[in-house]
C-alpha cells in the first residue's frame, strides 16, 4: 500500500531567508527552499501518485512473467547442458561435462545412452543417475560419488572407477572389461549378467554384492577384496580370476 503524506506549504522566501545568520549560507538555504517547493507541488499532483501505482504494478507483472516463463528457462538450461555433452563427445578432458551432467541429474533428467567415453569426470557427483546403455568406456571417474546409479547394459570398458563410491549401483549386463575398480565401494551392487574380465577389483568393498549370475570374471584381479560374500572368492578363482596384490609392479 502506498501511503502519501500531505506536505506543509513552505515559508515565503523572505521569512526563510531571515532564518540565516551568515550570508554565505544563503545559497544553500535557497536550494533547499526550492526543493521544498518542488516537493510540495509534486505531493499535490495526482499524476505522481498514479505513476507510483503503475511502478508497483509493473513489478507485479514482472514477477508473474518471471514465474510463468520458468519452465522455458529450465528447458533452455537443459538444452545447453546437452549441447555441451554432445559437442565434446569422444574427446578427452572435461569440457564442462561434469557440471552439465550434474545439472541434468539434479533436475532428474535421465542420462540414458549418454556418450562420455574418454572424458575426464574425476570427482563427479551423480547420485541415483539413470545411465542405462550409456558409454563411459575409458572415462576417468576416480573418486566419484555415483552410488545408486543404473548402469544396465552400459559400456564401461576400461573405465577408471578407482576409489569411487558405487554402492547399490546396478551393473546388470554391463561391460566392465578392464575396468579399474581398485579401492572402490561396491556395497550391494548388482552384477547380474555383467562381464568383469580383466577388471581390477583389488581392495574393493564387495559387501552384499549380487554376484551369483555374473557372466564372466576371467583374469579379474580380486586381491585383498573386502567383505566378499560367502563363496564369491572361491567361485571367482575357479572361473579364471587371479589374486595378484602387486599387479601394478
DSSP 172-212: TT-B-TT-B-TT-B-TT-B-TT-B-TT-B-TT-B-TT-B-T
Asked if residue 85 belongs to a domain, the reply is: no
Stronger pLDDT, 99 or 45, i.e. the higher one: 99
Q: Does residue 40 share a domain with residue 97?
A: no
Q: Does residue 107 share a domain with residue 56?
A: no
Asked if residue 83 belongs to a domain, the reply is: no
Contact call for residues 85 and 100 (beta carbons, < 8 A)? yes
Q: Does residue 159 share a domain with residue 55?
A: no
Q: Which residue has the cell 570374471?
A: 217
130 C-beta neighbours (distance < 10 Å), count: 19
Q: Does residue 227 share a domain with residue 112?
A: yes
Q: How many residues does the chain have?
A: 249
Q: Does residue 136 share a domain with residue 47?
A: no
* CATH number of the domain enclosing 114: 2.160.20.80
pLDDT at 35 over 80: no
Q: Does residue 144 share a domain with residue 42?
A: no
Q: Does residue 103 share a domain with residue 61?
A: no
Asked if residue 133 belongs to a domain, the reply is: yes
Asked if residue 119 belongs to a domain, the reply is: yes
Q: Does residue 125 share a domain with residue 36?
A: no
Return the pLDDT at 89: 84
Q: Span 2-31, mean pLDDT?
A: 63
Return the pLDDT at 2: 47
pLDDT at 1 over 50: no
Q: Does residue 171 share a domain with residue 104?
A: yes
Q: Does residue 219 share a domain with residue 142?
A: yes
Q: Does residue 199 share a domain with residue 123?
A: yes
HSE toward the beta carbon, residue 247, CA cutoff 13 A? 19
Return the pLDDT at 247: 72
% of the chain residues with pLDDT over 70: 73
Asked if residue 3 belongs to a domain, the reply is: no
Supply the range of the domain harboring residue 55.
13-68
Q: What is the DSSP letter of 24?
A: G
Cα dist from 74 to 63, 68, 81, 110, whole Å: 17, 12, 11, 15
Asked if residue 4 belongs to a domain, the reply is: no
Return the pLDDT at 90: 75
Asked if residue 82 belongs to a domain, the reply is: no
DSSP 79-131: HHHHHHHHHTTT-SS-TTHHHHHHHHHHTT---TT-B-TT-B-TT-B-TT-B-
Q: Which of 14-18, 29-33, 40-44, 73-77 is predicted most confidently?
A: 73-77
Asked if residue 214 belongs to a domain, the reply is: yes
Q: Does residue 117 share a domain with residue 171?
A: yes
Q: Total structural domains in the chain? A: 2
Amino acid at each position: 500500500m502506498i501511503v502519501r503524506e500531505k506536505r506543509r506549504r513552505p515559508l515565503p522566501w523572505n521569512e526563510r531567508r531571515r532564518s540565516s545568520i551568515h550570508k554565505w549560507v544563503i545559497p544553500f538555504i535557497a536550494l533547499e527552499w526550492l526543493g521544498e517547493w518542488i516537493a510540495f507541488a509534486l505531493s499535490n499532483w495526482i499524476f505522481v501518485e498514479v505513476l507510483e501505482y503503475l511502478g508497483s504494478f509493473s513489478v507485479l507483472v514482472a514477477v508473474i512473467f518471471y514465474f510463468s516463463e520458468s519452465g522455458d528457462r529450465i528447458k533452455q538450461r537443459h538444452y545447453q547442458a546437452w549441447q555441451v555433452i554432445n559437442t565434446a563427445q569422444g574427446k578427452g578432458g572435461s569440457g564442462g561435462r561434469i557440471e552439465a551432467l550434474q545439472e541434468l541429474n539434479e533436475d532428474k533428467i535421465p542420462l540414458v545412452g549418454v556418450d562420455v567415453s574418454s572424458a575426464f569426470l574425476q570427482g563427479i557427483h551423480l547420485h541415483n543417475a539413470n545411465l542405462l546403455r550409456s558409454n563411459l568406456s575409458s572415462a576417468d571417474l576416480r573418486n566419484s560419488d555415483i552410488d545408486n546409479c543404473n548402469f544396465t547394459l552400459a559400456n564401461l570398458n576400461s573405465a577408471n572407477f578407482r576409489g569411487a563410491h558405487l554402492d547399490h549401483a546396478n551393473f546388470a549386463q554391463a561391460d566392465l572389461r578392464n575396468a579399474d575398480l581398485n579401492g572402490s565401494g561396491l556395497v550391494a551392487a548388482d552384477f547380474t549378467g555383467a562381464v568383469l574380465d580383466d577388471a581390477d577389483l583389488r581392495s574393493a568393498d564387495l559387501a552384499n554384492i549380487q554376484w551369483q549370475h555374473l557372466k564372466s570374471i576371467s583374469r579379474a584381479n580380486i586381491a585383498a577384496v573386502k567383505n566378499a560374500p560367502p563363496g564369491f572368492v572361491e567361485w571367482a578363482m575357479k572361473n579364471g580370476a587371479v589374486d595378484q596384490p602387486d599387479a601394478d609392479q
